[in-house]
């Protein structure tokens, strides 16, 4: 068995008060796929930084295999000092790395390489940062929330790219489906310590619940034992003095163990304040159009949304999801068409950018909205500190300004404020951003119990599947279509997931075009950078494969190899078959590209 590439042992780190890490371990082997999970604030990002060599622990050992290469994707990448996205990505390459991969990955992620870093949106910045860490194909890849700010097409592209890498991967993410598809082992960071389970994230929650149940049983046994010892102290202490002193000492130790035990962090308590019941018809849209200049956002869209419906809106970044929601909720006037809203509607909106939060305002002011120290929940007044505790804020944070909160804390604060307002129509724009998995579970349950109607914009496929009853999907510029069921049902009905902006229209139009028209359109275009690169590199790839095939054939022709070492023979035969398959694929792709090149240039 090969030695691990990276080992962290007994890692401890304290930022004042309770230790963030207290004896945490992490082992990463060659090609492993490990997801690192835990509550917000449990220290996952800190442990990842220690593993990447960016932060030094107070105590513990870190061993990195000599020569092993490491790349780390932070939640907030810095582009300072770079004039373009290409320069930023190329700076992450090491000696001997393929320089073509920098531009290839940028192109695959929808960037040109010429973008100015200080003008990038959140999604563009995340794509450039991903290209930088993926381009070198390191031995170990540390990814901290890689799907943040990415739309569905980019998330699904990233899944495929990571699946094909040889690199070992340690991954932090709140996207369940992303974790389930990529992870093969789970490291759970809980109360400063780590536990490892050699199965992927799909099995994590059942394992976690077993651990908590066992802890509760052990705690109950300890409480009973302490009660018995305390009873003996009261009524049996007059026996032998030496033995009594020993038992008193043991009782003290048990009390200390119970007092110092770090229990699991409490759960967020989510409940929406509901107003009076709305009419049966909530929203009706008929032949609605909206454009900005020459750009169509909504073209001829019609839908009916009834009380109790849960509608998901999905599409790539920039497609106009928020504009569509603003149109059908009456917040934005259409260019033409009819929007009819039902009676007695109370709309509450949770915006994705947390823009409505004043960064200088303290938590209590955000929650009370100027009503002294009271929050009105379902018509009943509650003290703001009590309400804060439901969302895992401590009393000491009451005067904390919004600006110092983490992303997860801001997400919980926005939920706390939105859910306190009476509503019968909830509009949730990316509500899952920065929330941990346990809070997502509770939000899902709350939406299931909510008596009103829900409009949900999200890139979280699992969350959409769990919450919605129908989906409105982007089909191309201005075109939106209704599908029954969740995201997976939509994929089954349309035969594909959400595609990148512009691609959907091309795919939709291609279905109706004659083959000759499509071929003519293909002939007008130019070879992409990816195709040019493949044409240049495929001959070298084929030559290397031919060399491998010749070596394997020579090995298999050795006299008595099968009788002498059957395992070696079978291994060589399997490798030969795989190499021949790869060579056939490479030759076919090279021939296709050569013919395409001749057609485009001819």
Between 66-75, 361-370, 516-525, the lowest mean confidence (pLDDT) is in 516-525
How high is the pLDDT of residue 473?
A: 95
3-state secondary structure 314-349: ECCCCCCHHHHHHHHCCCCCCCEEEEEECCCCCEEE
Phi-psi region of 255 (alpha: psi -120 to 50; beta: other; left: phi over 0): alpha
CB count in 10 Å sphere of residue 20: 21
- Pull the structure tokens for residue 112: 């040109």
Give the residue with greater pLDDT, 341 vs 220: 341
Cβ atoms 444, 466 nearer than 8 A: yes
Which residue do the tokens 């709350």 mark?
Answer: 446
Cβ atoms 50, 98 nearer than 8 A: no
* Rounded-to-integer distance, Cα 46 and Cα 142, Å: 12
Average pLDDT of every residue of the chain: 84
319 is in an annotated binding site: yes
362 is in an annotated binding site: no
* Rounded-to-integer distance, Cα 141 and Cα 139, Å: 7
577 is in an annotated binding site: no
317 is in an annotated binding site: yes
Mean pLDDT of 183-203: 94
* Rounded-to-integer distance, Cα 363 and Cα 388, Å: 8
Mean pLDDT of 217-221: 74
Cβ atoms 8, 26 nearer than 8 A: yes
96 is in an annotated binding site: no
192 is in an annotated binding site: no
How high is the pLDDT of residue 510?
A: 39
- Pull the structure tokens for residue 376: 């009105």
Mapped onto helix, strand or coil, the DSSP state of residue 88 is helix
321 is in an annotated binding site: yes
Q: pLDDT tens for residues 314-346?
A: 999 889 999 999 999 999 999 999 999 999 999
Q: pLDDT tens for residues 155-173?
A: 999 999 999 999 999 999 9
316 is in an annotated binding site: yes
Which residue do the tokens 């119970």 mark?
Answer: 258
Cβ atoms 54, 80 nearer than 8 A: no
What is the spatial order of strands in the sheet that 295-306 belongs to?
A: 295-306, 281-292, 336-341
Q: pLDDT tens for residues 378-413?
A: 778 888 888 888 887 888 888 888 887 777 778 788
Rg over alpha carbons for the chain, rounded to the nearest Å, is 29
Q: Is the pLDDT of residue 26 over 90?
A: yes
How high is the pLDDT of residue 526?
A: 67
Percent of the chain with pLDDT over 90: 45
Q: What is the DSSP letter of 401?
A: B
Backbone angles phi, psi at 334, to 5 degrees: -75, 160
Residue 23: pLDDT band by 50, 70, 90 thresholds?
very high
């Amino acid at each position: 068995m090969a030695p691990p590439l990276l080992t962290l042992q007994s890692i401890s780190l304290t930022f004042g008060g309770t230790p963030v890490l207290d004896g945490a371990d992490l082992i990463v082997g060659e090609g492993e796929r490990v997801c690192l999970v835990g509550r917000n604030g449990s220290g996952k990002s800190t442990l990842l930084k220690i593993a990447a060599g960016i932060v030094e622990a107070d105590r513990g050992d870190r061993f990195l295999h000599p020569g092993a290469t490491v790349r780390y994707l932070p939640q907030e990448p810095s582009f300072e000092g770079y004039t373009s996205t290409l320069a930023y990505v190329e700076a992450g390459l090491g000696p001997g790395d393929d320089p073509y991969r920098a531009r290839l990955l940028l192109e695959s992620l929808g960037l040109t390489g010429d973008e100015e870093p200080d003008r990038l949106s959140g999604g563009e910045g995340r794509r450039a940062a991903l290209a930088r860490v993926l381009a070198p194909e390191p031995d170990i890849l540390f990814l901290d929330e890689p799907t943040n700010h990415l739309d569905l097409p980019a998330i699904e592209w990233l899944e495929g790219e990571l699946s094909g890498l040889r690199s070992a991967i340690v991954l932090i993410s709140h996207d369940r489906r992303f974790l389930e598809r990529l992870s093969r082992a789970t490291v759970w960071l809980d109360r400063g310590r780590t536990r490892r389970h050699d199965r992927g994230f799909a099995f994590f929650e059942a394992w976690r619940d077993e651990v908590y149940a066992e802890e509760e049983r052990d705690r109950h046994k300890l409480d009973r034992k302490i009660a018995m010892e305390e009873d003996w102290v009261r009524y049996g202490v007059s026996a032998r003095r030496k033995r009594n002193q020993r038992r008193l000492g043991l009782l003290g130790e048990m009390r200390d163990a119970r007092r110092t035990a770090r229990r699991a962090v409490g759960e967020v308590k989510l409940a929406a304040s509901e107003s009076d019941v709305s009419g049966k018809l909530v929203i009706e849209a008929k032949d609605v159009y909206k454009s900005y200049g020459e750009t169509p956002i909504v073209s001829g869209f019609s839908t009916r949304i009834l009380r109790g419906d849960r509608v998901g809106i999905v599409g790539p970044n920039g497609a106009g999801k928020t504009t569509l929601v603003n149109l059908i909720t009456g917040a934005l006037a259409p260019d033409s068409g009819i929007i009819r809203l039902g009676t007695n509607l109370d709309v509450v909106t949770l915006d994705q950018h947390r823009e409505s939060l004043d960064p200088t305002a303290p938590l209590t002011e955000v929650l009370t909205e100027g009503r002294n120290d009271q929050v009105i929940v379902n018509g009943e007044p509650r003290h703001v500190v009590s309400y804060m505790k439901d969302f895992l804020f401590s009393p000491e944070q009451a005067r904390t300004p919004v600006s110092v909160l983490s992303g997860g804390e801001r997400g919980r604060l926005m939920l706390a404020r939105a859910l306190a307002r009476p509503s019968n129509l909830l509009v949730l724009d990316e509500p899952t951003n920065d929330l941990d998995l346990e809070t997502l579970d509770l939000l899902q349950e709350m939406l299931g119990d909510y008596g009103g109607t829900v409009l949900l914009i999200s890139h979280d496929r699992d969350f959409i599947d769990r919450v919605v009853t129908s989906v409105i999907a982007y089909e191309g510029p201005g075109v939106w279509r209704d599908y029954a069921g969740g995201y997976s049902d939509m994929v089954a009905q349309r035969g594909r997931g959400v595609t990148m902006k512009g691609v959907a229209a091309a795919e939709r139009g291609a279905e109706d075009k004659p083959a000759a028209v499509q071929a003519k359109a293909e002939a007008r275009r130019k070879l992409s950078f990816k195709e040019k690169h493949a044409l240049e590199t495929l001959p070298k790839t084929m030559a290397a494969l031919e060399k491998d095939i010749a070596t394997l054939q020579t090995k298999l022709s050795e006299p008595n190899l099968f009788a002498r070492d059957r395992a070696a023979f079978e291994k060589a035969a399997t490798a030969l078959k795989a190499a021949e398959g790869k060579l056939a694929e490479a030759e076919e792709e090279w021939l296709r590209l050569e013919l395409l090149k001749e057609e485009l240039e001819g």
